[in-house]
Structure 1
Amino acid sequence: MAGEIPPAQPPPAAPGPGRHPRPLLWQWRRNPLRRRTDRLQAWVAVGLLLAVLAAAPAAMFAVGDAAHRHYRGTAEHETETRDHRPAVLMYDAPRHPEPGSDEAKETRYAVKVRFTGPDGRARTGKTDVEPGLPADSTVLVWVDRAGRITEPPLTAEQIRSRAVGWAILAFLGVVLAGLAAHAVTGFVLRRRNLAGWDAAWAATAPRWSRLP
């Protein structure tokens, strides 16, 4: 229909089959097709890269150190508030289907035991023991101040492992934040480029679409 402006057709965002890929660092090269937003996007990418390179190791060290101090304090508290006490099995522990196997050596069964709490009173609870232990066998259990069977205090290896885990998470968090910021910036600038393309096409298309 005469006078109708056809929709703008911007170039594809990424090269497809049969098209020549954009040259490396094209956003930094002088050419008549480079837009100010292209150069801005390049500077944003450089800024984000430098920020991530500086912030990621710092965050990893800070978070790892804080986690190590936290878990070390937790281990010290657990050591002060937990006792290693003897307990007696009240029933036979189940036998493993494959006695003597590597799996049997790693397997533990929860069995009810009786023990004396920190207050001197007889108590009962469940703890994991080796397969096949007969009733009245004695095992050692960790007991808190309330007289409950609990886990042993954190070991140095556990403290180190958890601190390293938090440090890695902090590093990855900074990297992912940088990637997200880069993606958002690219999306915003692309929307701006498309809006500019539409405005330029609206001004140019009428001169091309007039009938002779």
Structure 2
Amino acid sequence: MPGRTAVPPPPPARRPPRVLSWRLRRNPLRRRSDLVQGWIGLALLLAASAATPAAVVLAADAAHDRATQTARRQAQTRHATTATLLENARRHPEPGSAEARGTRYPAQVRYTDPEGRPRTATTDVPPALSKGSTLRVWVGADGQLTEPPLTPDQIRNRVRGSAIIAALGVPAASIAAYGVTSRVVQRRQLAAWDRAWADTAPRWTAAP
């Protein structure tokens, strides 16, 4: 009728998704072991999909707690002091470059430990520093030079690394479990074939 809005035809019904593994499909060559292996693979896939997000969260939380405790402990046992350079530091072949700003060279310095005793040690310093220059160093409870406490960026990097390991580890464990299961199933298949052949071979090879 004129002026009547045409109703679009309903979309065609979607076919159910095909089974992910050929081992679960009906076919005359499928064996019971194939079906068992297919269901195990599907179960491991679903388990990995469900467990990966939880593993990532748990690993990230645990890494954050460990790194935060480490940073707090380091802040309590390490302190910053001023050290004096006892020799000229090496010069970088490309002064002023980005590589030079990130390069450090070993050089001897003198500093004072927490008990007030002067000490001499070797540490990494920026290039081209002249003898007598001062720089900030971190000293541990034993009086030895050490790294500064963990920074927030370093803590985040540790958390990120643990999360990535967890995200890759769960699927890898599932794949390994599936591989072990496949080997067990294949060995049982071979053993069954050997038994079947042992029963059948005499009838085929017997002389008339």
Superposition TM-score, scaled by structure 2 size: 0.82
Q: Which residue of 1 aligns with 2:25?
A: 29
Q: Which residue of 2 aligns with 1:72?
A: 68
1:100 corresponds to 2:72: no
Of residues 58, 71, 89, the one that matches 2:54 is: 58
Preserved CA contact (<8 Å) 2:23 2:30: yes
1:85 corresponds to 2:81: yes
For 2:148, what is the secondary structure of its paired residue? coil
Give the count of matched residue pairs. 190
Judging changes above 3 Å, is the alpha-carbon distance between structure 1 residues 30 and 130 closer, same or farther for their aligned structure 2 residues?
Answer: closer
Q: Which residue of 1 aligns with 2:176?
A: 180
User: For residue 32 of structure 1, what is the amino acid of its counterpart?
Assistant: P
Aligned-residue CA RMSD in angstroms?
A: 2.1
Judging changes above 3 Å, is the alpha-carbon distance between structure 1 residues 30 and 116 closer, same or farther for their aligned structure 2 residues?
Answer: closer
1:46 corresponds to 2:76: no
1:203 corresponds to 2:199: yes
Residue 65 of structure 1 and its aligned partner are, at CA, apart by 0.9
**Inter-partner Cα distance in structure 2 for 1:24 and 1:158:** 42
Task: State the identity %.
Answer: 54
Superposition TM-score, scaled by structure 1 size: 0.80
Unaligned runs of 5+ in 1: 1-22
Q: Which residue of 2 aligns with 1:17?
A: none
**Inter-partner Cα distance in structure 2 for 1:172 and 1:136:** 50
Unaligned runs of 5+ in 2: 1-18
Judging changes above 3 Å, is the alpha-carbon distance between structure 1 residues 122 and 210 closer, same or farther for their aligned structure 2 residues?
Answer: closer
**Inter-partner Cα distance in structure 2 for 1:171 and 1:181:** 16
Judging changes above 3 Å, is the alpha-carbon distance between structure 1 residues 206 and 165 closer, same or farther for their aligned structure 2 residues?
Answer: same
Judging changes above 3 Å, is the alpha-carbon distance between structure 1 residues 140 and 169 closer, same or farther for their aligned structure 2 residues?
Answer: same
Judging changes above 3 Å, is the alpha-carbon distance between structure 1 residues 132 and 192 closer, same or farther for their aligned structure 2 residues?
Answer: same
User: For residue 127 of structure 1, what is the amino acid of its counterpart?
Assistant: T
**Inter-partner Cα distance in structure 1 for 2:29 and 2:91:** 78
Q: Which residue of 2 aligns with 1:193?
A: 189
Higher relative contact order (CA 8 A, sep 6+): 1
For 2:164, what is the secondary structure of its paired residue? helix
User: For residue 180 of structure 1, what is the amino acid of its counterpart?
Assistant: A
**Inter-partner Cα distance in structure 1 for 2:27 and 2:93:** 76
- Per-residue CA deviation, residues 34-62 of structure 1 (Å, 9 max, x unaligned), is 22111111111111111211222222211
For 2:92, what is the secondary structure of its paired residue? coil
